[in-house]
Every structure is written in structure tokens, then in C-alpha cells.
Amino acid sequence: MTDQSEEVGYRVLDRVAYVTIDRPQRRNSLSLAVMARLVEIFAEVNIDDEIWAVLLTGAGDKAFCAGADLKELDDRARAGIRFVPPMAGPERNLFETVLETYKPVVAAVNGPCLAGGAELALACDLRIAAEHAFLGLPEAKRGMGANFASVILPRLIPRAIALEMLYMGEPIQAAEAQRLGLYNRVVPAAALADEAERYVRGIVANAPLTLRRYKEMVTKGWELPVATALRLSVGPNPYLSEDREEGIRAFVEKRAPKWSGR
């Protein structure tokens, strides 16, 4: 299946949804139209049982995503159009939508990852980055708010480090992002596409119901007490699935499992 809008590439191949922000001339910045299209895509991914994982990236190698399209925001301000704060608009917030997509979402961070682009990467489950892909939240230098990052970042790294990144607005290099756990892997830029493909294929080789179960349990149980989270039981139940029987039988018979998603 292939669907190509003007500035967002979207195709599904062998259980993986490939999503590409395709605005290299604008450093893959997030225009209102691009954000709306991404929300549509991730909403579709969430309910399509043929999709087991998502690989999100940007076009080219100059930027994964430079954040909001500041020229568009300036043009709208000059035209007297009021800015709608995050979580207050008529559509779902992009970062929340990605975070709550109950399939594994991998970001292939192909270049600098800034402001809303950093928030988009942080909304993904896993991040594999090129060596030149520094990450930063310069909103304090622009009078913006980094609403999503101010909530999610202190949950991912130590609070003091998160606050330093937010207060200072200075980027961190890829190696430091990996040390902090914000990037899972850092690879040479020339190897990123192949490594990201191997990475996501390693995920979808596993049982799809188990993958979705993990995502829902981790997301919905994040801030719950342990005793409560252990009894949460959200998402599909892999313990009662045909795939559980198939996975065990394939192991016993020393062959690759054939998952049905049932």
C-alpha cells in the first residue's frame, strides 16, 4: 500500500509503516498541514491490524525535524491570526497521538532534532540516530513553551538534566543523548537507513500481540503504583492467543514462528 501526500510520505511494506516528513527545503519543519497529516496517519496506523510497527524519519540529512514552521507562525501572527496553544485546538495534539499509538514507533533521526522535532522524536518509543543528529529544545530562546517536552523529558532522564536542557535551550550532541538514554543507538549517517531497517525488522519479527501489549502496558501503567500496574491488563492478551501456541511450537520444532496476530 502506498499513499503520498505532498509533504509527508507514507507507505506500508511487510507489516511496517514508513512515515517520512518530506520538507528538506524547510528542514522538515512542522507546518500545520504536516502536523494534521501526521495525526491522520498515526490514527490510521493505530487501528490497522496489518501494521505491526512504524519507522518515522525526515527527508535528506540536514535535519530530522527543525520543529514548528516559524515562518508560517510569523506569517499568521502578522495576519492577525491568533496562536492556539498545545492541547487547546480542535484536533488531537501530534505528540500525544504518536505517544499513544499502540504499535512500536521507531524514529530514525537523520539529522538535527530541534524544538518540536525533538518533541516528536521523544514521543516515539525508540530512537536510532546519525552521529551528527544533535538534539535540543530552544523554545526558551523563542518565547515558546515545549509543552510536551516539559512533561515527558523529566520522565525519561534525571529531572535536573531535563530542566537544564529546557532552561538553557542548548543542544546536546548525539553521543551525549545516547549516554542519557534519549537515543538507543548512534550510527554513522551513511549507515542510518540500513541500520534503522534492520532495527525495525528485528521488532516485527516478534509476535504482534505481544508488541502491542507491551506498548499499552508501558504507556498506560507509566505512573501507576507497581501493584496497580501489574493488574492493569490492557491491550490484547497474548497469553490466550493462537500466537502463543505457535511461538512455543515453533521453538520446540526449531523453526521460525508464523504469526497470525490472533
Helix (H) or strand (E) holding 128: strand 126-130
- Taking Cα atoms as reference points, which of 80, 92, 109, 243 lies closest to residue 174? 109
Supply the residues annotated as catalytic. 119, 139
* 3-class secondary structure, 97: helix
Residue 167: HSE in the Cβ half-sphere, 13 Å Cα cutoff: 7
- Taking Cα atoms as reference points, which of 4, 17, 112, 101 lies closest to residue 58? 112
Residue 26: HSE in the Cβ half-sphere, 13 Å Cα cutoff: 17
CA dist., res. 81 & res. 51, Å (int): 38
CA dist., res. 30 & res. 33, Å (int): 8
**Helices vs. strands in the chain: H and E counts, helices first:** 12, 9
Dihedral (CA of 114, 117, 120, 124) sign = negative
- DSSP per residue over 23-44, as a string? -GGGTT-B-HHHHHHHHHHHHH
Asked whether 258 and 242 are in contact (CB, 8 A), the reply is: no
